[in-house]
């Protein structure tokens, strides 16, 4: 069974631009979560989607948004990029909200210049 | 506030030198404690889930244990390929962060031949 896939793997943007990241969960998994990983803060939860609805949200500004499609694929958008948004963005999937273990993708490395 | 603290931040071992990594936590009703391994430039790889105090799980040279306040990841006779960052995360059973993973900053393990 294929794992979680994320595209693109690397991205370079400039301040003020916006970016969209994509995540395809493990086949059959219906929940997708997004995390931001930085050297200083570690892994921090952004939001989780299940059945095309945001179920939970972390403490990030409104510039960070996401959505989920009917096939469970998810996208994350960051508008008006800031230098501090440079990070590894990780997507994780799990079968259901009641399923505990989350499986992570390889991440998208975003660099903001 | 739910939080996870891992120690030490970094650990250098000689091949074959056994040791333990610590993960202490405070959480609103522990739903699960997770250990992941992360190699540079990759997403976290799932290792173990522990649910209740006294529970233990093993995989090759790794053994995870859980008490009411902390978890240990014991590494027996490590090999250079065990070098990675080991991440601990908890999932709260209730409260604002219910469902999402709260991560520690990780322990970077280096095993020298």
Query: Can you give the pLDDT at residue B95?
Result: 63
Contact indicator for A57, A76 with CB cutoff of 8 Å? no
Residue B107 has what pLDDT?
98
Q: Long-range contacts of range B24-27, CB-CB < 8 Å, 24 or more positions apart?
A: B24/B69, B24/B70, B25/B69, B25/B70, B25/B71, B25/B88, B25/B90, B26/B1, B26/B2, B26/B69, B27/B2, B27/B3, B27/B90, B27/B91, B27/B92, B27/B93, B27/B102
Interface A:B, Cβ pairs < 8 A? 55
pLDDT given at position A54: 94
Is the per-residue pLDDT at B30 higher than 90? no
| Cβ contact B42–A107 (<8 Å) | yes
Q: Chain B residue with minimal CA distance to A47? A: B100
Which candidate from A43, A97, A107 shows the least CB-CB separation from B99? A97
Q: What is the pLDDT of residue A96?
A: 80
The pLDDT score that the predictor gives to residue A42 is: 94
Nearest-Cα distance to chain B for A90, in Å, is 7
- The H-assigned helical ranges of chain B are none
Contact A100 B102 (CB under 8 A): no
- The pLDDT tens digits for A18-76 are 999 999 999 999 999 999 999 999 999 999 999 999 998 999 999 999 999 999 999 99
Distance CA B113, CA B109 (A): 13
CB-based contact A45 B42, cutoff 8 Å: no
Mean pLDDT of B15-43: 94
Q: Which residues of A touch B97 (CB under 8 A)?
A: 45, 56
Mutation choice for A interface testing from B38, B51, B101 by most A CBs within 10 A:
B101
pLDDT digits over B50-109, tens only? 999 999 999 999 999 999 999 999 999 999 999 999 999 999 876 655 678 899 999 999
Mean pLDDT of A1-26: 96
Residue A100 has pLDDT above 80, yes or no: no
Q: Which residue has the higher pLDDT, B48 or A96?
A: B48
Query: What is the token pair recorded at B19?
Result: 């040791």
Chain B positions in Cβ-Cβ contact with residue A92 (cut-off 8 Å) = 101
pLDDT computed for residue B98 by the predictor: 64
């Amino acid at each position: 069974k294929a794992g979680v896939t994320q595209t693109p793997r690397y991205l370079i943007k400039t301040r003020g631009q916006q970016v969209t990241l994509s995540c395809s969960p493990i086949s059959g998994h219906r929940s997708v979560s997004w995390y931001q990983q930085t050297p200083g803060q570690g892994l921090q939860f952004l939001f989780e989607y299940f059945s095309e609805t945001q179920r939970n949200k972390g403490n990030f500004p409104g510039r960070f948004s996401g959505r989920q499609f009917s096939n469970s694929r998810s996208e994350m958008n960051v508008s008006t990029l800031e230098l501090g948004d440079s990070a590894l963005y990780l997507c994780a999937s799990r079968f259901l909200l009641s399923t505990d273990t989350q499986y992570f993708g390889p991440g998208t490395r975003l660099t903001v210049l | 506030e739910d939080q996870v603290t891992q120690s030490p931040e970094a650990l250098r071992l000689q091949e074959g030198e056994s040791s333990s990594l610590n993960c202490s936590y405070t959480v609103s009703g522990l739903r699960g404690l997770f250990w992941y391994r992360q190699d540079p430039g990759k997403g976290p790889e799932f290792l173990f889930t522990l649910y209740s105090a006294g529970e233990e799980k093993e995989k090759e040279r790794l053994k995870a244990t859980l008490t009411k306040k902390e978890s240990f990841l014991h590494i027996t006779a490590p090999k250079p390929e065990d070098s990675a960052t080991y991440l601990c995360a908890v999932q709260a059973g209730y409260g604002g962060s219910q469902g999402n993973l709260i991560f520690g900053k990780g322990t970077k393990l280096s095993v020298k031949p």
